[in-house]
Amino acid sequence: MTNKIAAVILGAGKGTRMKSDLPKVMMPLAGKPMIRNIIDTLEQMNIDEIVVVTAPDGDMVRKEVLPYKSTIQDKQLGTGHAVLSAKDALKGFDGDVMVIFGDNPIITKETYQKALDELHKGYAIVVMGFVPEDAARYGRLKMKGNELEKIVEFKDATDEEKAIKLCNSGCMVFDGKTMFDILDCIGNENAAGEYYLTDAIAVARSKGLKCGVIEADAKEVAGANTREELALLESFLLARKGK
Q: How confident is the model at residue 202 (pLDDT cuts 50, 70, 90)?
A: very high
* pLDDT for res 243: 65
% of the chain beyond a pLDDT of 90: 79
Q: Is 98 exposed, middle or buried (0-12, 13-18, 19+ CB in 10 A)?
A: buried
pLDDT tens readout for residues 35-55: 999 999 999 999 999 999 999
> Domains of the chain (ranges plus CATH)?
5-240 (3.90.550.10)
Q: Could you tell me the CA-to-CA distances from 200 to 122, 148, 188, 222 in Å, in that order?
A: 16, 11, 12, 22
Each residue of 107-145: pLDDT tens digit?
999 999 999 999 999 999 999 999 999 888 899 999 999
Which residues belong to the active site? Answer: 17
- The pLDDT assigned to 1 comes to 47
pLDDT at 193: 85
- Average of per-residue pLDDT across 148-176: 93
**pLDDT of 161 strictly over 80:** yes
